[in-house]
Chain A
Amino acid sequence: MKPSVFKYFDPTSVDEAIGLLQRYGEDAKILAGGQSLVPMMNFRVARPKVLVDINKVQGLSYIREEGEEIAIGALTREREVERSTLVREKCPILSEAVSHIGHLPVRTRGTIGGSLVHADPSAEIPTVICALGGSMKAVGPSGERSLGPEEFFLTYLTSALGPDEILTEVRVPVLPPGTGWSFLELSRRHGDFAIVAVASIVGLDGDGRCNRAAIALGGVAPTPIRAREAEEALLGRALEGALLEEAGRLAAEATEPESDYHASADYRRDMARVFVRRGLEEAIERAKGGR
């Protein structure tokens, strides 16, 4: 099918874009990479009356180190994030996560901001941002505000952005040297939506005890979730064997998966358990080997 009729605007500034959102309200939808929105429009499942194409807005595409964080403009293409040496060196879990997104032509147009606002709970970027504890900058007529992942992701396909706000930037922390990390995704084929995705970040102190643990899961709830109880179980302990199994079990209990064509809820829950354990093993190896 073809999209239904819409009014088209291609603003060149954030202010102009916000002005259009204010004017047209719920009738307007932002077009960034289009890799999630246009399929819905082609099926006429989404029928925005007004399309605000922000691809010409200046100043929204960048990757910069700013102190202990990396600031990435919302319009930065996923392919650029994937190829960025700065990201690979300072926040490698993000590079790895992005490399799992669809296929190359999708990452050529898809944007980091678009993926966040689309808020698909199985998507790689929302999941890894949950583990990293990044922050999202939203700009609207009344100014700017910064949201953490738990405030930002409300439910399926729903972010906390107001109808007249646009996402301009996402910030992720630089991972200190020696931080272990892992991003694992279970899907039927490379490029398919994740059945389960697990992003893990682990820090070990001088005695080999865990001083940092973040485990985020995608595909198992209406938003990506943090397995807080599993994380608590790891802090201050030496990470090995039975403890990792326990973390997997606790993480699986935190999930609220649904069944669909690809996987039953039980399978997702069980795979969450397995992939959390595997993810921790991989992250620990990285922390120890410093790779």
Chain B
Amino acid sequence: MKIEGKHVFKAPVQKVWEHLTDPRHLEKALPGCERLDEKEPGKYDATLKIGIAAIKGTYQGKVEVADPHPPKRYRLRGEGSGSPGFVKGEALIELSEQGDRTTVNYEGEMQVGGLIAGIGQRMMGGIAKMMLGQFFKNIEKDLGRTG
């Protein structure tokens, strides 16, 4: 499914770039992320515990911060598999500064497969949107903390 949208942060572009690419911040922002271990620069092994209500699952996978063009854009890639199914996604993330604000535009694709996709298909789009919303909220909180 296609995912696209934008989010505006009340922070300068350099700070937002840092929070969106540095694994220490990503670890805190990715919903359910328990750990992010760097394997190579920009490539991380991830453990994510995500779910909704009774449907919780642990996914093992990889997250990659690819093609970085600081502080303007990069590609965020991720994939994970666990007992409920698998998730794979890639998005182009673009940052632009307007005064003291930064707009982040994202556009990409996400695939969900396995049992969770079969059963949850009619809610998958909505739940993906929710998790993205959660991701950006977490980034915002983190930005607020580091001022």
Q: A residues within 8 Å of B by Cβ?
A: 29, 37, 39-40, 43-48, 118-119, 121-122, 155-158, 193, 222, 256, 258-262
A258 contacts which of B53, B55, B56, B125 (Cβ < 8 Å)?
A: B125
Indicate if the CB atoms of B125 and A260 lie closer than 8 Å: yes
A222 contacts which of B53, B121, B126 (Cβ < 8 Å)?
A: B126
Closest to B57 in A: A45
Q: B residues within 8 Å of A by Cβ?
A: 1, 52-57, 83-84, 115-116, 118-127, 129-130
Measured in the bound complex, the distance between the Cα atoms of B54 and A48 in whole Å is 7
A-side contacts of B123, CB under 8 Å: 121, 156-157, 258, 260
Are A157 and B55 also in contact (CB < 8 A) when A43-B115, A44-B83, A45-B116 are? Answer: yes
Indicate if the CB atoms of B55 and A46 lie closer than 8 Å: yes
Closest to A265 in B: B125
Indicate if the CB atoms of B54 and A260 lie closer than 8 Å: no
A-side contacts of B120, CB under 8 Å: 45
Measured in the bound complex, the distance between the Cα atoms of B127 and A26 in whole Å is 21
Measured in the bound complex, the distance between the Cα atoms of B84 and A46 in whole Å is 9
Closest to A262 in B: B122
A37 contacts which of B52, B54, B115, B127 (Cβ < 8 Å)?
A: B54
Are A40 and B54 also in contact (CB < 8 A) when A156-B123, A258-B123 are? Answer: yes
Indicate if the CB atoms of A40 and B121 lie closer than 8 Å: no
B81 to chain A, nearest CB (A): 14
Are A158 and B122 also in contact (CB < 8 A) when A44-B83, A44-B84, A45-B116 are? Answer: no
Closest to B118 in A: A43
B31 to chain A, nearest CB (A): 13
Could you list 15 examples of A-B contacts with CB < 8 Å? A29-B54, A39-B119, A40-B55, A43-B118, A44-B115, A45-B116, A47-B56, A47-B83, A155-B52, A156-B127, A157-B53, A157-B54, A258-B123, A259-B1, A259-B125
| Interface SS of chain A | loop
The 6 A-B pairs with the shortest beta carbon distances in the complex, nearest first, are: A258-B125, A46-B54, A157-B53, A260-B122, A258-B126, A43-B115
A-side contacts of B121, CB under 8 Å: 260-261
A227 to chain B, nearest CB (A): 18
B-side contacts of A156, CB under 8 Å: 52-53, 123, 126-127, 130
Measured in the bound complex, the distance between the Cα atoms of B83 and A46 in whole Å is 10
A-side contacts of B1, CB under 8 Å: 259
Closest to B125 in A: A258
A-side contacts of B52, CB under 8 Å: 155-158
Measured in the bound complex, the distance between the Cα atoms of B130 and A158 in whole Å is 12
A46 to chain B, nearest CB (A): 4
B51 to chain A, nearest CB (A): 9
Other than the known A43-B119, A45-B116, A45-B119, what 12 A-B pairs have Cβ atoms closer than 8 Å? Answer: A37-B54, A39-B119, A45-B115, A46-B54, A46-B56, A47-B83, A48-B54, A119-B53, A156-B126, A258-B123, A258-B125, A260-B123
B133 to chain A, nearest CB (A): 10
Are A45 and B55 also in contact (CB < 8 A) when A40-B119, A155-B130, A156-B130 are? Answer: yes
Indicate if the CB atoms of A222 and B115 lie closer than 8 Å: no
B11 to chain A, nearest CB (A): 27
B-side contacts of A48, CB under 8 Å: 54
A81 to chain B, nearest CB (A): 23
A-side contacts of B115, CB under 8 Å: 43-45
Measured in the bound complex, the distance between the Cα atoms of B124 and A43 in whole Å is 17
Measured in the bound complex, the distance between the Cα atoms of B19 and A123 in whole Å is 39
Measured in the bound complex, the distance between the Cα atoms of B122 and A40 in whole Å is 15
